[in-house]
Amino acid sequence: MGPKRDRILPIIERLAAEHQEATIALRFRNELELLVSVMLSAQTTDVNVNRVTPALFRKYRRPEDYLVVPPDELENDIRPTGFFRQKAKAIRGTMRMLIEEFDGQVPRRVEDLVRLPGVGRKTANVVAAELGEPQGIVVDTHVRRLSQRLVLTKREDPVKIERDLMRLVPRADWGRFPHLLIWHGRRVCLARRPRCESCVLNDLCPSSRL
């Protein structure tokens, strides 16, 4: 099977060939829409977010637009994404900070992004990566599960998993690596019944021998 440092490049290459279309599922047209979409995606599906955002983004085009409406109006506009009160509060707080501290622009540094209300490291990593400046590796449920199955990490904490992956994955691949694992996790390496027999990583994955 080989040590993980020897396996990581073949893993990336095979997944990239297998999932050439792997990319973020959220739909957005600019940096502000990206940030809002990722914030809305917490505790819900990307499909659900994509149902809400076309009308939302026609109505709210600038940070100021999110602040001129009553809070309950924004809550109603994002209600289908769940946890709408908390999300609306976070979005309004974020828009206020963008205006007051970042000239209305979405910051690109993870250190700045995590200062925004409702923006954790995972959200910040997604935004930075999609803006073409990945500064870490996004760790969601798929990335966590597949990294553990591939024995790229034995950690449980997402922050520690990210650190392990950052030591292994070449920096040039930090942005696409999570997408590759997410697509593979949704299509092949399923949570309950992984399809090891049809997996391109079969001979590189210690879990396929279990």
Tell me which residues are annotated as active site.
122, 140
Take residue 39 and report the two structure tokens written for it: 């914030």
Nearest to 31 by CA among 95, 120, 92: 95
Q: Report CA 52 to chain centroid distance, whole Å.
A: 18
Residues 6+ apart with CB under 8 A from 173: 12
Please state, in angstroms and rounded to a whole number, the distance separating the CA atoms of residues 174 and 162. 10
Please state, in angstroms and rounded to a whole number, the distance separating the CA atoms of residues 123 and 107. 13
Take residue 36 and report the two structure tokens written for it: 């809002």
State the DSSP code for 82. S
Q: Is 44 within 8 Å of 38 (Cβ atoms)?
A: no
**End-to-end CA separation in angstroms for the chain:** 13
State the DSSP code for 14. H
Q: Is 60 within 8 Å of 92 (Cβ atoms)?
A: no
Q: Is 106 within 8 Å of 32 (Cβ atoms)?
A: yes
